[in-house]
Amino acid sequence: MEEVLDLKPLGAAIAIGFGAIGPGIGIGLLAGKALEALGRNPEAVGPIQQNMILGLAFAEAIAIYALVIAILILFV
């Protein structure tokens, strides 16, 4: 009989790997630009911090979606 390779772990690893690269880069850029803006205009802490946290939440949600997809690939 032929040996069948199970490629589900590889597919899950690729899904979470690519799914984490984008949010990781986005969060890094977002935090860097927010700190740069705060350095230029310290009086605008409130709006900058609020928008930064909202952007971080959206980027993190994309990473969580990638994790869910990876788990679905593994167990379904």
Query: Hey, what long-range contacts does 10-13 have (CB within 8 A, 24 or more apart)?
Result: 11/73, 12/70, 12/71, 12/73, 12/74, 13/70
The three-state secondary structure class of 1 is coil
End-to-end CA distance of the chain: 25
Q: Is residue 2 part of a domain?
A: no
pTM: 0.78
Which residues span the domain enclosing 48? 8-75
Total number of domains constituting the chain = 1
Q: Is residue 1 part of a domain?
A: no
Q: Is residue 21 part of a domain?
A: yes
Q: Is residue 31 part of a domain?
A: yes
Rounded distance, CA 48 to CA 30, Å? 11
Q: Which two tokens stand for residue 43?
A: 């009086």
Q: What is the pLDDT along the chain (76 residues), one digit of tens a residue?
A: 677 788 999 999 999 999 999 999 999 999 999 999 999 999 999 999 999 999 999 999 999 999 999 999 999 8
Rounded distance, CA 45 to CA 60, Å? 22
Q: Is residue 3 part of a domain?
A: no
Q: Is residue 47 part of a domain?
A: yes
The CATH number of whichever domain residue 57 belongs to comes to 1.20.20.10
DSSP 14: H
Q: Is residue 71 part of a domain?
A: yes
